[in-house]
Chain A
Amino acid sequence: KAGVTQTPRYLIKTRGQQVTLSCSPISGHRSVSWYQQTPGQGLQFLFEYFSETQRNKGNFPGRFSGRQFSNSRSEMNVSTLELGDSALYLCASSPGQGNTGELFFGEGSRLTVL
Chain B
Amino acid sequence: GQQLNQSPQSMFIQEGEDVSMNCTSSSIFNTWLWYKQEPGEGPVLLIALYKAGELTSNGRLTAQFGITRKDSFLNISASIPSDVGIYFCAGRMNTGFQKLVFGTGTRLLVSP
Contacts and interface: CB of A to CB of B under 8 A. Distances in A.
Interface in A34-78: 35, 41-45, 48, 50, 55-56, 58-59
A18 B3 CA distance: 27
Given A48-B99, A56-B98, A56-B99, A102 B42 contact: no
Interface in A1-53: 4, 31, 33, 35, 41-45, 48, 50
Nearest to B92: A101
Given A48-B98, A48-B99, A101-B98, A43 B88 contact: yes
Interface of B: 1, 3, 31, 33, 35, 40-45, 48, 50, 88, 90, 92, 96-105
A33 B42 contact: no
B66 to A, nearest CB: 16
